[in-house]
Amino acid sequence: MSRQTWLFGALFIIALASWQWFRNDTEAPVNPQDYQPDFVATNLASVQYNRLGLPYRGMQAEYAEYYEPLSMTLMKKPVILLYSPDGQPQWRLRGDDGTINTGDNAVLTGNVVGNGLQPDALVETLTTEYLELDFINNQLRSNRQVRLQSPQYQAEGLGVLGELDQQTVELLNETRATYFNP
């Protein structure tokens, strides 16, 4: 190798070291608007209707923040109402906090209570600390301790999987139940 090649190599290494040494390490400034909700609502109430004009989902919240880039709504004291295909109230689910991803799913946390609203509902009350609602598959699920109550029985277990359109709920693990004779 010639001296000229060594000289260009050394200059390249010095330039690279200088660039690393003097480059600006500050990250791009955070745009405060990136973390601001697109709208905020208090005492929010909303009902969605199907093509026949019958309600299929309702939502209420004491406080809600909607983030458009994420298609997500954060809520305080949310209440979600689910309706049967004929427009009759089927479930009322509420919690301390909630998140709804538009058209996809909802998560309720903190003192979650679900009430079966149909007269022939097998589950009158469902309580847990965490509950996911899958709107695409019409399911509810939790991996936490769950308690089911009705006038005929009381059951507890770890985890639940429910089919909303079939009105079924299955406790997954460590199930204990007490049945009452009328």
- pLDDT tens digits, one per residue of 59-102: 999 999 998 888 889 999 999 998 888 888 988 999 999 999 87
Q: What is the mean pLDDT of the chain?
A: 85
Mean pLDDT calculated for residue range 136-161: 90
| 32: pLDDT strictly greater than 80 | no
pLDDT at residue 130, rounded to an integer: 95
Domain boundaries, the chain: 42-179
pLDDT at residue 25, rounded to an integer: 57
pLDDT at residue 3, rounded to an integer: 76
pLDDT at residue 168, rounded to an integer: 80
Would you list the DSSP string of the chain?
Answer: --HHHHHHHHHHHHHHHHHHHHS--PPPPP-GGGGS-SEEEEEEEEEEE-TTS-EEEEEEEEEEEEEGGGTEEEEES-EEEEE-TTS-EEEEEE-SEEEEETTTEEEEEEEEEEEE-STT-S-SEEEEEEEEEETTTTEEEEEEEEEEE-SSEEEEEEEEEEETTTTEEEEEEEEEEEE---
- pLDDT tens digits, one per residue of 106-125: 999 999 999 988 888 788 89
User: What is the band of 4 on the pLDDT scale with cuts at 50, 70, 90?
Assistant: confident
pLDDT at residue 30, rounded to an integer: 57
Superfamily holding 42-179: Lipopolysaccharide (LPS) transport protein A like domain (2.60.450.10)
Mean pLDDT calculated for residue range 14-35: 67
